Amino acid sequence: MRSRLPPLNPLRAFEATARHATVAKAAEELNVTASAVSHQVRVLEESLGVDLFIRSRARLKLTPAGEALLPSVRGAFEMIATAVAKVGETVVAGDLVVSAPLSFTSRWLARHIGDFLHRYPSIKLKLIPSNDDKEVYSPDVDVCIRYGEAHWKDRSVTLIEHPSLYPVVSPALMNGPKAIRSPDDLRHYALFCEHAGSWMRWLMEAKVEHPERMRVLEIGNAHIAVEAALHGQGVALGDSISVRDDLIEGTLVRPFKATVPSRHPYHIVRPPERADAPLASVFVFWLEQHLSESA
């Protein structure tokens, strides 16, 4: 039975590539070259005798064989992480300080953190809602989730996800007296966002005539913009992480398929000396798995 198991590295490369849908992002996460990831995936495909991905110039797509394999591989890695955490209670017991942007903390992390606390009851977690670099270089912070260009010197940086941006609106406003059926209908409403340029990019992508005539309001924080949309005050430009649960729950509606990439990706930033610390590693693994499962 053991002889039938493929090597661990090809499985890691497969799981990361499937989660990100690109070899480049998987390589960034695993801290290896893209060619190394491609090679490892090929090794796994050859050992199994099947193709796991449909390859194109854009994003990779899993074949039926890849879709069948992924849940088991993902579950196996999570079981390994959980088992390692349980090997010694003292290994995963202690204080863990995590800093993340307000929108990420309030709109995604706060909705899922109970699972982490349930899995690791001996970890005393402190969350700091911030996207300030002072926490990145603070000796008191173990893990930072940051939205930015990955220019953090002397830090271990891992890409999490580069979100997409698209309009979101409450169902009541969507189907109200001035129903939203085409991008041009957005001119009847206030358009909320953190940066007006993002709305302009989306409006041009959606081929809206005279986008400069739209009423775009910079509202200071993406979290506040989405809250305004939830309460029917207008339309927010949401990112694919922050509004994911709202769309699933039906409290927000996505009226159009058009998307534009956000200005920056989200990253995990850690001091290099803590990159492999047990508490931080457990949290990062949990975070990556939960984000991929809710995508």
Query: Number of folded domains in the chain?
Result: 3
Q: What is the pLDDT of residue 90?
A: 47
* CATH number of the domain bearing residue 136: 3.40.190.10
Q: How far is CA 100 from the centre of its chain?
A: 12
pLDDT by residue (tens digit) across 96-152?
999 999 999 999 999 999 999 988 898 999 999 999 999 999 999 999 999 988 788
* Residue given tokens 């966002």 in the structure block: 193
> According to the model, what pLDDT value does residue 2 have?
42
Same domain, 14 and 64: yes
Range of the domain at 108: 89-160+264-293
Q: Identify any residues that bridge with 144 across adjacent strands, giving them in sequence order.
A: 99, 269
| Full pLDDT tens readout for the chain, 295 residues | 444 566 678 898 899 899 888 888 888 888 778 888 888 898 888 888 899 998 876 678 899 999 999 988 888 887 777 666 555 444 578 999 999 999 999 999 999 999 999 888 989 999 999 999 999 999 999 999 999 887 888 898 888 888 999 999 999 999 888 999 999 999 999 999 988 899 999 999 999 989 988 999 998 888 999 999 999 999 999 999 999 999 999 999 999 999 999 988 999 999 888 777 888 888 998 898 888 765 5
Mark whether 148 and 276 lie in a shared domain: yes
The last residue of one of the domains, among 27, 52, 84, is 84
**Could you tell me if 101 and 113 lie in one domain?**
yes
Within 13 Å and on the Cβ side, how many CA atoms surround 262?
21
The residues that bridge with 100 in the sheet, in sequence order, are: 129
CB 226 within 8 A of CB 216: no
If asked whether residues 118 and 195 sit together in one domain, one would say no
pLDDT for 245: 92
Question: Based on the domain organization, do 172 and 228 belong to the same domain?
Answer: yes
Among candidate residues 21, 56, 84, the one where a domain is terminated:
84
What is d(CA 130, CA 228) in angstroms, rounded to the nearest whole number?
A: 20
Q: What is the CATH number of the domain that holds 58?
A: 1.10.10.10
Q: Provide the pLDDT for residue 97.
A: 96
pLDDT at 80: 76
279 and 135, same domain (yes or no): yes
Task: Tell me, yes or no, whether 97 and 225 share the same domain.
Answer: no
Same domain, 156 and 172: no
Residue where a domain terminates, one of 60, 84, 108: 84
Beta partners for 167?
A: 237
pTM reported for the whole predicted model: 0.68
Please tell me whether residues 169 and 250 are part of one structural domain: yes
The pLDDT of residue 83 = 67
Q: How far apart are CA 53 and CA 251, in angstroms?
A: 34
Give yes or no: residues 273 and 156 share one domain. Answer: yes
Is residue 32 domain-shared with residue 177, that is, in the same domain? no
Whether residues 202 and 121 share a domain: the answer is no
In the chain, DSSP assigns E strands to 53-54, 61-62, 94-100, 123-129, 143-147, 156-161, 164-168, 191-193, 216-218, 235-239, 260-261, 266-270
SS3 77: helix
User: Residues near 164 by Cβ (< 8 Å), separated by ≥ 6?
Assistant: 239, 240, 259, 260, 261, 262
